[in-house]
A and B are shown apart, each in its own frame.
Chain A
Amino acid sequence: MKITFPHMGNMYVPIKVLLDTVGIKYVIPPLNTKETIELGVINSPEFACLPFKAILGDLVYGLKNGADFILFGGGSGQCRFGYYGDLLSEIIKNLNYDVKFVCLETTNITINGVLKKISPLTKDKSAFGLVKAILFAVKTVFLVDKLNRIAAYTRCREIKKGETDKIISKFHSKVQKHYGYSEIKSIIKSTKKQLRAISVDRKLKPLKIGIVGEIYIASHPSTNFEIEQKLGNMGVEVHNHLGISKWIFNHFIRNNLPIKKKDKFLSAGREFVNTDDIGGHGIQTVGASIFCARKKYDGVIQIYPFTCMPEIIAQSILSEVQKKYNIPIMTLIVDELTGEEGYKTRLEAFVDMLEMRKSKAYNQLYIDI
């Protein structure tokens, strides 16, 4: 059996570690290609959201390249994400692939539940190996996350522009050529070293922008036109509040903890929303924006896929947040037709505006004294 899975940001690195360790064969769809997105678009309903199309594209690519097992994490409730699994499996069935489609319910995940569902893949593997693999994968999630944070720090401060990006792209091509936890761990380690060696301007006080919005788009570079890289290279320090590690924490670890702590963004968002759940991460988007304002960020960018309903509500509410907390918020909506040039221009204009605002605030301070 050969498994395939969709990309989401850097998630493929820990998944690869997991599968390598257990000894399951797999097909990884290429990162960042037009080809996979197009495969998704032609097989999806027109008004499905971009994450759905991108995910379907990855899966169809995997099937075309020999995979016969799909493991997918779904949910339930109000957001369409809850029904991705069902629709994906219906569409794929209709394309006549001989494939086993297993859907994991991620809103309430338990280790036992997962093990049972994936038993066709693991029946001849040892339980000890499985547990080891899961632990390795979880560790990798946090290692990769750290790498990203260092990159966000160096990218906007590096003296020679483009150094960070070069190292990161080398990292990805190396990961794809190596196997297992120890090899990948050592790649992460050496990448970390290289990033730390970049010469940076430590005195620089860059603009700080928080990214909020729909989690898949916000954390998947090929669908957000590498927003973190673009902003970083404009000299902006980017704080993405939708790291995959956080998502994993919320969905996998918290559910297995005895005490449930309330999400801090959710509590902050409750100021404007009189309920705990409107589907997706709409309330968290509002809460994270308030958090950015309180932490004195210079601006917030909300990014979401066209027709994403929870984020449309959040967008309406963000105009209130903007007024009350005096922080500029820009909304970017993407779909498969979004042009990169226009998108870049909007980012640049927003950054220019924030620069002006900052220097004005600074001058004002000067005059007041």
Chain B
Amino acid sequence: MVTIGIPNGLFYYEYSSMWKEFFEKLGLHVLISQDTNKRTMDTGVKYCNNETCLPVKIFHGHVASLKDKADYIFIPRYHSTSKDEYTCPQICGLPDMTAANLGCKHKILEAKINMDVHPEETKESLIEMAKTLKIRPSKVIEAFYEVYDKYLQSKTEENITDLKRVDVNKGKLLLLGHPYMIYDNYLSMRLIEKLKKRNIEVFTPKDFTHEIKRKNAYPFQGKKFWNIGFELLGSAFTSVKDKKVKGIIYLSPFACGLDAFIMEFIELRIKAKCRNVPMLKLTVDEHTGEGGFDTRLEAFIDMIGV
């Protein structure tokens, strides 16, 4: 049986179940790389240029770990996720970059997602994929639309956490960052868990509806922007309206070009328009030690008094 390896990094945090289900529907065996650990990181660092951002380095580590175990490695090319919503250039060039760095071009399976201007690319790339896998193209396309529709549906139904749902006595914090930063236990040094242990209610972009985030994503409402930018700006400006939100933590990998801009938009706006919500910027690179990280976190929590 053909085994498809799915790297457990970057896109995986948002689209894991969708792609797993997709390949299983095609009757293929799916192998997902282990959660990020020190080895993943060290291997990834070895294969990449120094300037590459940390999550992409780690992604290389995941791919490397699958290289000998799987027949193909699946790396989708997310270009634009929906109308007017774009991804980071490194995400868009990911299949080419990993192919060059790991020398495994022949093993990479690609699906293109370019919903804003070239939605037809998805179908074309699926037909390519079908050829490689020797499966009937119509079957592949059908499987894709099934899982994709399900994904879209779940996006509109899920979350809708009411900001007021929580215990009035608990302090609230907003945690911002790419999903592959805040939900990766290794990269985030179990940040969410640590906050919860201190009896703090943590919100993340998942807790707000798609629409409200788009509506509040100043100054990009109705314009083109990065998909993650809508998520983060929208969550930030929605949550600062709630007086119980005592602070924001922004977890960012070293040298992320998008975060540099998004963070600045948030800071400027909060300074200019909203009440002054304190924001802690935590930057993680391959040398960050947990001790220093925790100290900064604790100092911040003490300062805002949640």
Q: Which residues in A have some Cβ–Cβ distance to B below 8 Å?
A: 44-49, 76-80, 82-83, 86-87, 90-91, 93-94, 272-275, 277-280, 282, 306-310, 312-313, 315-317, 319-320, 331, 333
Binding site for A on B (CB under 8 A): 48-49, 51-53, 77, 79, 86-90, 92-93, 95-97, 100-101, 110, 112, 219-220, 223-226, 255-261, 263-265, 268-269, 271-272
CA distance A317 to B258 in the complex (A): 22
A86 pairs with B219, CB closer than 8 A: yes
Query: Contact at B92–A275, with CB atoms within 8 Å?
Result: yes
Which residue from B87, B96, B257 sits with its C-beta under 8 Å from A80?
B257
User: What's the least CB distance linking B244 to chain A, in Å?
Assistant: 27
**18 new A-B pairs (CB below 8 Å) besides A45-B263, A48-B261, A86-B265?**
A46-B260, A47-B260, A49-B257, A79-B89, A80-B258, A83-B261, A86-B220, A87-B264, A90-B265, A274-B77, A274-B110, A282-B93, A306-B51, A307-B257, A307-B260, A310-B93, A312-B90, A316-B49
- B90 contacts which chain A residues (CB < 8 A)? 309, 312-313
A322 to chain B, nearest CB (A): 11
Q: How far is the CB of B272 from chain A (nearest CB, A)?
A: 6
| The 5 residue pairs across chains A and B that have the minimum distance between CB atoms | A47-B260, A279-B89, A313-B93, A309-B89, A278-B93
A307 near B51: Cβ-Cβ < 8 Å: yes
B255 — nearest CB in chain A belongs to which residue? A307
For residue A84, which residue of chain B has the nearest CB? Answer: B261
Chain B residues whose CB sits within 8 angstroms of the CB of A273 once the complex forms: 93, 96
Report the separation of the CA atoms of residues A279 and B258 in the bound assembly, to the nearest whole angstrom: 13
Q: Are B95 and A309 in contact (CB under 8 A)?
A: no
Q: Contact: A309 with B100, CB < 8 Å?
A: no
Bound Cα distance from A279 to B114, whole angstroms: 13
Name which residue of chain A comes closest to B121, CB basis: A275
User: How far apart sit A83 and B225, CA to CA, in the bound complex (Å)?
Assistant: 8
Please name all residues of chain A whose beta carbon is closer than 8 Å to the beta carbon of B272 when the two chains form the complex. Answer: 93-94
Cα distance, A67 to B186, chains bound together (Å): 50
A33 CA to B48 CA, complexed, in Å: 35
- The smallest C-beta distance from A329 to any residue of chain B, in angstroms, reads 13
**CB contacts between A and B, total, < 8 Å:** 117
25 contacts between A and B (CB under 8 A): A45-B260, A45-B264, A48-B264, A76-B223, A78-B79, A78-B87, A86-B219, A86-B265, A87-B264, A90-B264, A273-B96, A275-B96, A275-B112, A306-B51, A307-B260, A308-B257, A309-B88, A309-B90, A309-B257, A313-B89, A313-B93, A313-B96, A316-B49, A316-B97, A331-B49
* A204 and B263 alpha carbons, distance in the complex (Å): 53
Q: State A79–B225 Cα separation when bound (angstroms).
A: 10
- B89–A317 touching, CB < 8 Å: no
Q: Which residues of A contact B264 (CB under 8 A)?
A: 44-45, 48, 87, 90-91
Task: Report the minimal beta-carbon distance from B266 to chain A, rounded to whole angstroms.
Answer: 10
Q: How far is the CA of A314 from the CA of B200 in the complex (A)?
A: 43
Most buried by A among B53, B89, B223, B268: B89
Interchain nearest-CB distance for B224 vs A (Å): 4
Task: Check B51–A82 contact: CB distance below 8 A.
Answer: no
Q: Are the C-beta atoms of A94 and B49 separated by less than 8 Å? A: no
Would you call B260 and A78 a contact (CB within 8 A)? no
CB distance from B95 to the nearest CB of A (A): 6
B12 to chain A, nearest CB (A): 20
Find out whether the CB atom of A47 lies under 8 angstroms from the CB atom of B220.
no
Query: What residues on B are CB-neighbors of A279 within 8 Å?
Result: 89, 92
Inter-chain contact A310/B89, CB cutoff 8 Å: yes
Distance to closest chain A CB from B111 (angstroms)? 11
Do A275 and B49 touch (CB < 8 A)? Answer: no
Q: How far is the CA of A79 from the CA of B96 in the complex (A)?
A: 17
Closest to A44 in B: B264
| Cβ–Cβ contact A48 & B260, under 8 A | yes
Interface centre among A49, A274, A331 (most CB of B within 10 A): A274
Of all chain B residues, the one with the shortest Cβ separation from A286 is B96
Chain A residues, Cβ within 8 Å of B53:
309, 312
Contact residues in B for A308 (Cβ distance below 8 Å):
257
> B268 is contacted by which of A94, A272, A282, A307 (Cβ under 8 Å)?
A94
Chain A residue nearest in CB terms to B128: A274
Partner of B100, one of A86, A87, A272, A307: A272
B48 to chain A: which residues have CB within 8 Å? 316
Question: Bound complex: CA of A312 vs CA of B49, how far in Å?
Answer: 8
Nearest residue (CB) in A for B50 is: A333
CB distance from A289 to the nearest CB of B (A): 13
Please report the C-alpha to C-alpha distance between residue A306 and residue B257 in the assembled complex, in whole angstroms: 9
Residues of A within 8 A of B263 (CB): 45
* B86 partner residues in chain A, CB cutoff 8 A: 77-78
> Which residue of chain B lies nearest to A315 when distances are taken between CB atoms in the complex?
B49
- Which residues in B have their C-beta under 8 angstroms from that of A44? 264
Distance between Cα atoms of A272 and B96 in the complex (Å): 7
How far is B264's CA from A333's CA once the two chains are assembled, in angstroms? 23
Q: How far is the CA of A317 from the CA of B103 in the complex (A)?
A: 10
Looking at the assembled complex, report how far the CB atom of A301 sits from the nearest CB atom of chain B, in whole angstroms: 16
B87 nearest CB across to chain A (Å): 7
Given the complex of chains A and B, what is the CA–CA distance between A101 and B68 in angstroms? 55
CA A275 – CA B86 in complex, angstroms? Answer: 15
Q: Which residues of B contact A79 (CB under 8 A)?
A: 89
What is the bound-complex CA distance between A90 and B262, given in angstroms?
12
| A331: chain B residues within 8 A (beta carbon) | 49
Instruction: Check B92 against A78 for contact (C-beta < 8 Å).
Output: yes
- Does A275 lie within 8 Å of B97, measured CB to CB? no
Q: B64 to nearest A CB, angstroms?
A: 14
A82 and B223 alpha carbons, distance in the complex (Å): 11
CA distance A307 to B50 in the complex (A): 10
Quick one: closest B residue to A273, CB to CB?
B96
Residue on A nearest B49 in the bound complex, by CB:
A315
Residues of A within 8 A of B49 (CB): 312, 315-316, 331
Q: Which of B220, B263, B268, B271 has the most CB of A within 10 A?
A: B268
Q: How far is the CB of B7 from chain A (nearest CB, A)?
A: 16
The answer to whether B219 and A317 have CB atoms under 8 Å apart is no
Contact of A90 with B219 in the complex, beta carbons under 8 Å: yes
Q: Which residue on chain B has the smallest CB distance to residue A310? A: B89
Pair B100/A76 contact, Cβ less than 8 Å: no
